[in-house]
Amino acid sequence: MAPLVGGLATPLIALLMEIGMRFSQQWWLWHPDMGGDGLSHHVRSMEERRACEERLGQVVEKMKKEGIDMSQWRLGTFQRTICPQCEGGSTEERSLSVFIREDGTHGNWTCFRANCGWKGYTQPDGVPKAYQAKKDSGNENESDQEVKANQPVKVIRKLREEDLRLEPLCDELVTYFSERMISAKTLRRNNVSQRKRNNKIVIAFTYRRDKVLVGCKYREVSKKFSQEANTEKILYGLDDIKQARDIIIVEGEIDKLSMEEAGYCNCVSVPDGAPAQASRIILATDADPPGQALAEELARRLGKERCWRVKWPKKNETEFCKDANEVLMFLGPRALKEVIEGAELYPIRGLFNFKDFFPEIDSYYLGIHGDELGIPTGWKCMDGLYKVVPGELTIVTGVPNSGKSFVITSSWFSNPCFGFYRYGGSVERMSKDEFEEGKEWLNESFHLIRCEDDCLPSIDWVLNLAKAAVLRHGVRGLVIDPYNELDHQRPPNQTETEYVSQILTKIKRFAQHHSCHVWFVAHPRQVSFGVIVCKKLHNWTGAPPNMYDISGSAHFINKCDNGIVIHRNRDPDAGPVDVVQVCMKKVRNKVIGQIGDAFLTYDRITGEYKEADEAIVAKVVKQQIRQKSTSYQR
């Protein structure tokens, strides 16, 4: 439907008041001058609020009859204006002091010009003198004050049906609604009328509470809107949801009538209110950006945990329906009913259903996305144990000079994540053209994060630059090497374990948010072999370290998605020294890998890792078993 009169903010302000009244049977008076969240601490029941408004209205009207009129009425404070008796003399002095009590029990005025001195007093009808005396003596409880002192107040105007001169709808307007699939029966039940206004016949939507007229909104056929000024703002159709457990909120009166044609009388139109007993609130606002913004604000204030939202269907091959009336016009009442029955839970950040992940689950099953089952490393012996999955964190460790960085940065290992082809040539010295081609490939394939300052970089500094690289270059892999080169200035009240946990959480959030795989290289502090644990690295006898040996915290293995130990044989008696053992110590995602060992050989001439021959692997494994046996005997 068309935008609400007065924009989005005004109805939402009134909505907050009505929600407060309906949900908690308390009320707040809001005004922009109040600052902060605009809520007064003086809360009262809705019935008392209405009584207060009625008293205030009577006091103001009586003062107006005396000739006193203010551009803005304030309660609980003295206001100055021009006296209607002496008119402020020749200087038009603002000599009349006007005061109205916060609860509307009385008002008084005094002119302080020496030549005038006019004063007076008034109170609303039906206020007992004893009650008034209590107020005058200052014995009232603070909670009896309806409005905070020195705050502006809007006097609510009471409507009478005879004053509006409403008429039954003419045949032309009945036809107008009929074209929108809204029947005369629905129009009569909702008291939709017409009125001659500014020499035009306009549609009148009457707003009622307990069948009593509270407000009236007018609509021309050309979609120009207006409304009765200074009336209380309530929901259109408020009486229809008094006892409803489920309610539907739409963005316009015609949408409310459209819902009724589909069989839903428990529907109201914004701007104001929702009852406390409602356990399910269906937000059926317009599909345009303002409508979605309204739905978000309504859900925030009403409570997302009990809100549902609709998805408007297509009205043709290219366009979607914008609101309830378009669904009714193009698809009929049955389709509109299906839309409401198919309403979905309003999303809450951090709370999901499995349905939210159905597309991702389908991708795993069908293998159509490309990355669900991981990206191969390029080594067959490793692909059965480990694959690269965007959004995961891989911790890599190993004793110094084991080849950790070389394995990660080797072209076969990192190319799949970045999406580039492998560059390689013969063992002969490359030609000038090949050299230039290689330089170009390096420039396009890798981006370096380097700290040019004297101080060490922090993890936040690294991740901020990595984010820039993701946005600017579209990188999909990040290597942080090594951990001990980062600036670790943790607070004095934070343990190293807590600090490491915080760092790893930041890295994982970065990986997940940017769909970027992160390799984090960390050195071991202690090295284990057999049942003996050497606290110092110089006691190391050659066995592969463990993930729990990483310097700093056990969180390195506890919080990572994948844990890899890179180990190189250094004993000629144990096998070839060019053999590198890749130990998969942890694989969280069982779909893409498993725990196990892979063996590679390193070609020093080409700088390339290759899969080790089976004979070499058997020899290395046999020697490791012999070493473990010797360690246990010790």
pLDDT in tens, 121-140: 888 876 655 344 444 444 44
Q: What is the pLDDT of residue 50?
A: 73
Which residue, 291, 322, 345, sits at the end of a domain? Answer: 345
Between 141 and 243, whose confidence is greater?
243
Measure the CA–CA gap between 87 and 116, rounded to whole angstroms: 10
Q: Which of 430, 433, 431, 413 is nearest to 422 (CA)?
A: 413
> Would 16 be classed as within a structural domain?
no
Residue 417 or 513, more confident: 513
Beta partners for 582? Answer: 566, 598
Q: Which amino acid, 289? A: P
Residues 217 and 137 in one domain: no
- How confident is residue 279, by pLDDT bands cut at 50, 70 and 90? confident
CA nearest neighbour of 243 among 278, 290, 207, 284: 278
Residues 86 and 211 in one domain: no
Q: Is the pLDDT of residue 350 over 70?
A: no
Query: Is residue 482 reached through a cis peptide bond, with omega within 30 degrees of 0 on the bond before it?
Result: yes
Is the same domain home to 181 and 303? yes
Q: At 337, is the pLDDT very low, low, confident or very high (cuts 50, 70, 90)?
A: very high
256's CB contacts (< 8 A; 6+ apart) are 190, 236, 237, 250, 267, 268, 269
Q: Are 519 and 408 in contact (CB under 8 A)?
A: yes
Query: Is 285 in the same domain as 317?
Result: yes
Place 22 in a pLDDT band, splitting at 50, 70 and 90: very low
CB 258 within 8 Å of CB 325: yes
- Which own/partner contact pairs does 107-116 have at CB distance under 8 Å and 24+ positions apart? 107/59, 107/60, 107/62, 107/63, 109/63, 109/66, 109/68, 111/83, 111/85, 111/86, 113/83, 113/86, 113/88, 113/89, 115/86, 115/89, 116/83, 116/85, 116/86
| CATH number of the domain enclosing 169 | 3.40.1360.10
For the stretch 122-156, what's the b/e string if a residue is b when 16 or more beta carbons lie within 10 angstroms of its beta carbon? bbbeebeeeeeeebeeeebeeebbbbbeebbbeeb
Do strands 107-111 and 96-100 pair parallel, antiparallel, or not at all (unpaired)?
antiparallel
Q: Assign residue 596 the CATH number of its domain.
A: 3.40.50.300
Tokens of 533: 């644990």
Q: Is 492 found in the same domain as 444?
A: yes
* In the chain, % of residues over pLDDT 70: 74
Residue 224 sits in the same domain as residue 148 = no
% of residues, the chain, pLDDT over 90 = 18
Does a structural domain hold residue 325? yes
pLDDT in tens, 187-208: 999 999 999 888 889 999 999 9
Within a 10 A sphere around the Cβ of 311, how many other Cβ atoms?
Answer: 11
Is 143 in the same domain as 167?
Answer: no
For residue 48, being part of any structural domain is answered with: yes
Tens digit of pLDDT for each residue in 142-165?
Answer: 444 444 444 455 567 888 888 888
Q: Which of 471, 452, 449, 472 is nearest to 460 (CA)?
A: 449
**Nearest CA-CA partner of 590 in 310, 386, 293, 404:** 386
What's the one-letter identity of residue 158?
K
Judgement on whether residues 141 and 267 belong to the same structural domain of the protein: no
Is residue 364 in a domain? no
Whether the CB-CB separation of 453 and 383 falls below 8 Å is answered with: no
In a domain, 369, yes or no: no
Which stretch of 308-312, 398-402, 405-409, 484-488 has the lowest confidence by average pLDDT?
Answer: 405-409
Domain containing 223 equals 161-345
- Final residue of a domain: which of 120, 152, 184? 152
Q: Are 102 and 236 contained in the same domain? A: no
Residues 389 and 522 in one domain: yes
Contacts of 65 (CB under 8 A, 6+ apart): none
Task: Please write the tens of the pLDDT for every residue from 428-464.
Answer: 667 778 878 878 877 777 787 777 677 778 888 889 8
Q: Is residue 11 part of a domain?
A: no
- Domain-terminating residue out of 296, 325, 345: 345
Residue 32, pLDDT > 50, answer no
Residues, the chain: 634
Task: For residues 147 and 172, state if they share a domain.
Answer: no
- Report the pLDDT value the prediction gives residue 425, as an integer from 0 to 100: 42
Question: Coil, strand, or helix at residue 201?
Answer: strand
**Per the domain annotation, does 352 fall within a domain?**
no
Which tokens hold the place of 371? 């990355």
CA distance 332 to 575: 79
Tell me: do 213 and 82 sit in the same domain: no
562 within some domain = yes
Report the number of distinct structural domains present in the chain: 3
Residue 41 is predicted with a pLDDT of: 35
